[in-house]
Amino acid sequence: MSKRTAHVVVKGRRATLSDVDASQAHEIATKTTEENVYLFVPNFIGYARIVLAALALYYMPFHPRYCTLLYGASTLLDAADGYAARALKQASQFGAVLDMIVDRCTTSCLLCYLASAYPNYALVFQGLISLDFSSHYMHMVSTLTTGSRHHKEVKEDVSRILRWYYKKSVLFTMCAGNELFFVALYLLKWDKTPLYTLFPYAWTSSELFVENVPRFALRLTFAQALAAITFPISLGKNIVNIVQAWKASKVLVGVDLRERALAKTKAT
C-alpha cells in the first residue's frame, strides 16, 4: 500500500498523520472483518447517549422530571465512554468524533428549547450555540492540521489556558457545570416550589431558622439555587470557548503564512 500523507506543516516539513488516503481508508473499513470499530464498547455508550438525549428532547416540552433524568444520564455517560476506551484499549478516531458530535448536538438542542422558552434571550442562546460549534470545529481543524492525534492535545506554548482546561478533572467539572446551568434554566420554567420546603418541618419552623434565614432564601427554588451555583462555571466554559476559537484562528493563520512562504521560496 503506497503511503500518502496528510497536508500538515510542522516546522517546515510535512508530518504524516496516516498512511492511507480517504479512498484506501474507506476500502479498509468496508472489507475488514477482524475488528468492527462501530461495535467498540465506548462507541455503544455513544449510541446510548444519543438514544437518551432523543428521549429527553421528546419529554422536554411537557415532562421536566423525565427530561432531566434522561438528559442527565446522557451527559454522565460522557465520562464513561472515555474510561471504557482506555480500560479496553478501544480508543478510536471515530469514537472521539462521535463523542464530540453528541456533546455539541445535545447541548445545542437544549439551547434551542431555551431560546423558545425565553424569547427575550433567544439571541444569547443562538450566540452560545454558534460559539460552541465554531470554537470546537476550528480547534479540531487546527489541531489536526498541525499534526496532533487528538484535539485535547494542546501544548503549553500554544495556550496555557487550553492545556489546563483539557485536563480530565477540569474538563469534566467545566462541562458538567455548563450543562447543569442550562438544565437549571430549563427547570426554572417548571420549578416554583421554595427550596426550604424540601427540609423537615421541624427545622424550617424552628426559631433559629426563621430568625436567621434571609427572606429571599425562603423564596429560592432548587432551580434558582442550581443556576446561581453553576453560572460562574458556565461563564468560564464559554470564555474558554472564545479563547479556543482565537487560538485556533492564530494557528490556522500561522499555517497559511508558513505555506505561502514555502511556496514563494520554491517559486524563486
- Convert the pLDDT of each residue in 65-100 to its tens digit: 999 999 999 999 988 988 999 999 999 989 989 999
| Residue 41: CB atoms within 10 Å | 15
- Cell 505555506 locates to 259
Counting as low any pLDDT under 50, the low residues of the chain are 1-16
Cell of 127: 450566540
Alpha-carbon distances of 239 from 60, 132, 221, rounded to whole Å: 28, 11, 27
Instruction: Look at phi and psi of residue 211 and say left if phi exceeds 0, alpha if psi is from -120 to 50, else beta.
Output: alpha
pTM of the model: 0.85
pLDDT at 248: 95
Cell of 35: 475488528
CB-neighbour burial class of residue 203 (10 A; exposed 0-12, middle 13-18, buried 19+): exposed
| Residue 64: CB atoms within 10 Å | 17
| 132 a catalytic residue | no
pLDDT at 150: 77
Of the candidates 103, 132, 157, 256, the residue annotated as catalytic is: 103
pLDDT at 146: 87
137, 249 contact by CB (below 8 A) = no
Q: What is the dihedral of CA 125, 249, 18, 155, to 10 degrees?
A: -100
pLDDT at 198: 74
User: What single string gives the DSSP state of each residue in the chain?
Assistant: --------EETTEEPPS-SS-HHHHHHHHHH--S--GGG-HHHHHHHHHHHHHHHHHHHTTT-HHHHHHHHHHHHHHHHHHHHHHHHTT---HHHHHHHHHHHHHHHHHHHHHHHHHSGGGHHHHHHHHHHHHHHHHHHHHHHHHTT-SSTT---TTT-HHHHHHTSHHHHHHHHHHHHHHHHHHHHHTT--SBGGGGS-HHHHTSHHHHHHS-HHHHH-BHHHHHHHHHHHHHHHHHHHHHHHHHHHHHHHHHHHHHHHHHHHHHH-
